[in-house]
Amino acid sequence: MTTKLFGSKVPRVEDQRFLRGQGRYVDDVLVGQRVLHAAVLRSPHAHARITDIDVADVLDLEGVHLVWTHDDLTGPMAEPLPLLIPHPALVHGRTQYALAPEEVNYVGEAIAFVVAEDRYVAEDAVGRIRVSYEFLEPVVGIPAARAARSRVHDDMPDNVGARLEQENGDARAAIAAAPRTLRLDLTVERSACQPMEGRGTVARWDPDTSRMTVWTSTQTSTGVRGCVAAKLELDLGQVDVITPDVGGGFGVKINHPWPEELLVPLAARTLGVPVKFTEDRREHFISSAHERGQEHRVEVGYDDDGRVLGLNVEFWHDHGAYTPYGLIVPIITSTQLLGPYKPANYRVVFESLYTNTVIVTPYRGAGRPQGCFVMERTMDAIAAALGKDRTEVRAANFIQPDEFPYDQGLIFQDGRELEYDSGDYPASLEKLKQLVGWDEFPAFRAEMAAEGRRVGIGLACYVEGTGVGPYEGAHVHVETSGKVKVATGLTTQGQGHQTAFAQIVADALGVAFEKVEVVTGDTRRMPYAVGTFASRAAVMSGSAIHLAALRTREKALRIAAEALEADESDLEIADGVVRVKGTESQIDLGTIAVLSNPLRYAFDEASKAATQFSVGSPGKPPVAEDDEPGLEGKDFYSPERSTFASGMHAVIVETDPETAEITILKYAVVHDCGHLINPMIVEGQIHGGVAQGVGGALYERMVYDEAGQLLNASFMDFLMPFVTEVPTSIDIDHLETPSPLNPLGIKGAGEAGVIPSAAVFAAAIEDAEAPHQPGLTIVAMPISPSELFHLRQQHESDPEESA
């Protein structure tokens, strides 16, 4: 791209409303109008049979309009929620009901739904509902799920929802024949997205037009629309879903429909009054999704250069009580674990397990942080065993720049081949070593050691399949005012789409950036769309918008050529004006828009130019047979497969010799997401990812007790990083290997920052300890200072056992 907006740090247009307090988030919708408020009774028990629900007292409470249990639901609403992504291996898929009929399977599962004048009264009403339970044995944690002493779903033989194996070559034979082998057991604990805005839904039923309008804080408007229509037995054409401003998603809002996304519209139609549900923080902890919990066993065979000859990975994925999102997370771990490497033989097998805990759906990175942790810990272990530099072992295993496209011989999360389109991993590694000062580190370590300080360095590499299909679309409409209205169907939750997409349109169409207005996530404007996940918005909608803008440009040039009596090839568009090159002859896009729509009736001064005695040629229809009125362009982008972004992180940490406190001294990122639309936005995404990664590596975990109670369901107890916990600076360098799969050469960037964190911190902490605790290995993340302290003690008392 040679045009000027693509690639520049254009300030965000959305900032203006956010900074003035004029954002419109879901809980802001219908403020000042009559709206009723919903609250949900949630199970206080992890595993129990519901023997009775007594709601007799509830409607006596002044201000209560409705109370529902499962018995009040009929038709599709009384059936289980959809299993969104079926997979042949998911032989025991289970989803919850909008309201639990007989059994609850996690603390937080919805049992009853109340609508009242305000949320305070609705919660009073929830408190009056009396439920009798018969307690069942809860299954908590991967070991308990595997042991299957009790089962989450008693119609299953055990707790294994799915078992999936993929193999490229013969990994076990290669390991058996390899000169050197290693085994590792690696664990990553549960965490969660925790966007600052929880879930929320508002619905209004219009009896005059028989239409349902739903505003919901989602990552997929079209997905919710389909579910609302199916469950409420409405035609798709009767349902509009609008995603307003969203206060962060990070994955949790791609799952749908949440019970409230169906119950709220149903209540709005039943009561004839708009209804609102706004999740509170405790509800978000216990009833929205978690992720990350996995245990892995690795066997690797390698040669004296550190080249991996065979890699065999088995892992166990805790998917919680239900599987609405299918096997996406473990499939991503199992495939993206390979990163930038090409093991000669690879086998992976996982079991996806039921537990009596909150459901698991993708959280930024979506299984990649675990896969990266597994692969990078393996690389570090090989380097340690051979006494080699960790970067050398990685370099020995890299796919080389001349090997693209590179087929890993596996099937990816979208059902397509895991074929990398482009990249340059040796160049990335070189940049990273420079950026973090890899070769200078031994001198720095010695200097610090002289002061009695322990420092360590680590690095981790990843590849991220981004921009998964099936498609996204865009509609571009030039109004007669010259304003350009753009719509794409996927949603926005902080990525600055209104800015980045406007940059693309301004360049492709040849209009001023300020004239372009982008709408996302509104099914009235673009009913065909998939959603915002898998770092796909820029790739998918960015490409679709580019194509739609080009179509609009083509049409503008065609009409202009006729109006200016010039050849199309002699025309150019700049700043919204079409000119015959080298002449004064010109016409602006607004006028072209007027001419594009032959009129009988003028509605203003400008539109007179398009009326029947002004335009058209006798003998020709006013709108040509293969044409349509209006200066508009629509197009869709549907790539054959994902495009693969990549990157490498390095961190230098200090560990306190006495307290085991862990301090970040330097953090470096090399990132390759192809061509950057707006480098400012991309770097912001990386900063945020790194901060979430720091949380996941050093602080955040979901602490369940053996009864299945979440013990830290608040921001007091679940330790999300404040500014005091993140690196004081993050050094970023970009490499741009464009994707050949889309017209702009872009790859996704949203999730990348979080992927290597667990791996890179484990490596650096282990490295800091190495001179003092030789052989101490870090095999479970996150790690707190107390855990590091105990690891040291354990290692001192029994070096073999803790290694």
Quick count: other Cβ atoms within 10 Å of Cβ 125?
Answer: 26
Report how far residue 228's alpha carbon sits from residue 115's, in angstroms, rounded to the nearest whole number.
Answer: 19
Q: Which of residues 48-77 bind another protein (CB under 8 A)?
A: 61-62
Residue 254 is a binding residue for another protein (CB under 8 A) = no
Helical (H) or strand (E) element with 42:
strand 36-42
Number of residues located near another protein, criterion CB under 8 A? 67
Question: What minimum distance in Å lies between the beta carbon of 225 and another protein?
Answer: 22
Q: Which of residues 32-51 bind another protein (CB under 8 A)?
A: 32
CB nearer another protein, residue 278 or residue 466? 278
What are the tokens at 207?
């009896």
x/- binding map, residues 738-757, to another protein, per CB under 8 A? ---------------x----
Instruction: With contacts defined by CB under 8 A, name the span among 97-105, 447-455, 648-656, 722-730 that binds another protein.
Output: 722-730
Residue 568 is a binding residue for another protein (CB under 8 A) = no
The residue within the footprint of another protein, chosen from 541, 692, 742, 757 (CB under 8 A), is 692
CB nearer another protein, residue 293 or residue 689? 689
DSSP code for 508: I
- Signed CA dihedral, 278, 283, 287, 291: sign only: positive
CB nearer another protein, residue 15 or residue 572? 15
Q: Which of residues 271-300 bind another protein (CB under 8 A)?
A: 280-281
Are the CB atoms for 757 and 649 separated by under 8 Å?
A: yes
What are the tokens at 68?
């529902």
Residue 18 is a binding residue for another protein (CB under 8 A) = yes
Instruction: With contacts defined by CB under 8 A, name the span among 90-98, 161-169, 239-247, 559-567 that binds another protein.
Output: 239-247
Q: Tell me whether strands 36-42 and 632-637 are parallel, antiparallel or unpaired.
A: unpaired
Instruction: With contacts defined by CB under 8 A, name the span among 28-36, 232-240, 520-528, 553-561 that binds another protein.
Output: 28-36
Are the CB atoms for 595 and 623 separated by under 8 Å?
A: no
Could you give phi then psi for residue 503, rounded to 5 degrees? -60, -45
Instruction: With contacts defined by CB under 8 A, name the span among 81-89, 305-313, 543-551, 710-718 that binds another protein.
Output: 710-718
Question: What minimum distance in Å lies between the beta carbon of 718 and another protein?
Answer: 10
Largest CA distance in the chain: 98
Report how far residue 447's alpha carbon sits from residue 351's, in angstroms, rounded to the nearest whole number.
Answer: 47
Question: What minimum distance in Å lies between the beta carbon of 498 and another protein?
Answer: 8
Q: 538-561 as b/e, with b when 16 or more CB fall inside 10 Å?
A: bbbbbbbbbbbbbbbbebbbbbbb
Residue 20 is a binding residue for another protein (CB under 8 A) = yes
Residue 4 is a binding residue for another protein (CB under 8 A) = no
Q: Return the SS3 of 230.
A: helix
The residue within the footprint of another protein, chosen from 3, 4, 16, 711 (CB under 8 A), is 16
Residue 726 is a binding residue for another protein (CB under 8 A) = yes
Question: What minimum distance in Å lies between the beta carbon of 216 and another protein?
Answer: 16
CB nearer another protein, residue 603 or residue 722? 722
Report how far residue 681's alpha carbon sits from residue 698's, in angstroms, rounded to the nearest whole number.
Answer: 26
Residue 715 is a binding residue for another protein (CB under 8 A) = yes
Report how far residue 369's alpha carbon sits from residue 756's, in angstroms, rounded to the nearest whole number.
Answer: 6
Question: What minimum distance in Å lies between the beta carbon of 124 and another protein?
Answer: 9
The residue within the footprint of another protein, chosen from 120, 236, 440, 621 (CB under 8 A), is 120
Question: What minimum distance in Å lies between the beta carbon of 28 and another protein?
Answer: 4
Q: Return the SS3 of 402.
A: helix
The residue within the footprint of another protein, chosen from 51, 210, 400, 714 (CB under 8 A), is 714
Residue 17 is a binding residue for another protein (CB under 8 A) = yes
CB nearer another protein, residue 152 or residue 686? 686
Instruction: With contacts defined by CB under 8 A, name the span among 288-296, 386-394, 536-544, 728-736 that binds another protein.
Output: 728-736
Report how far residue 380's alpha carbon sits from residue 376's, in angstroms, rounded to the nearest whole number.
Answer: 6
Q: How many CA atoms lie within 13 A of 434 on its CB side?
A: 10
Instruction: With contacts defined by CB under 8 A, name the span among 9-17, 72-80, 423-431, 564-572 that binds another protein.
Output: 9-17
For the chain, percent helix, then strand, then coil, each to nearest 5?
A: 30, 25, 45
CB nearer another protein, residue 28 or residue 314? 28
Q: Tell me whether strands 275-278 and 36-42 are parallel, antiparallel or unpaired.
A: parallel
Residue 681 is a binding residue for another protein (CB under 8 A) = yes
Residue 663 is a binding residue for another protein (CB under 8 A) = no
Report how far residue 424's alpha carbon sits from residue 779's, in angstroms, rounded to the nearest whole number.
Answer: 29
Closest CA to 278 of 194, 202, 193: 202
What are the tokens at 688?
């945020």
Reported residue count of the chain is: 803
Q: What's the count of helices (H) and strands (E) in the chain, helices before strands?
A: 19, 29
Residue 194 is a binding residue for another protein (CB under 8 A) = yes
Are the CB atoms for 424 and 735 separated by under 8 Å?
A: yes
Quick count: other Cβ atoms within 10 Å of Cβ 701?
Answer: 20
What are the tokens at 123?
């919660």
What does 686-700 look like in DSSP terms, one character per residue?
A: HHHHHHHHHHHHHT-
Query: Cis omega (within 30 of 0) on the bond before 782?
Result: yes
Instruction: With contacts defined by CB under 8 A, name the span among 8-16, 138-146, 587-595, 789-797 that binds another protein.
Output: 8-16
Residue 199 is a binding residue for another protein (CB under 8 A) = no
Q: Which of residues 486-505 bind another protein (CB under 8 A)?
A: 493-496
Residue 123 is a binding residue for another protein (CB under 8 A) = no
What are the tokens at 157?
């033989």
Question: What minimum distance in Å lies between the beta carbon of 689 and another protein?
Answer: 8
CB nearer another protein, residue 21 or residue 88? 21
- The binding site for another protein (CB under 8 A) comprises 11-25, 27-28, 31-32, 61-62, 118-121, 193-197, 245-248, 250, 280-281, 493-496, 513-514, 517, 680-681, 683-685, 687-692, 714-716, 720, 722-724, 726, 728-730, 753
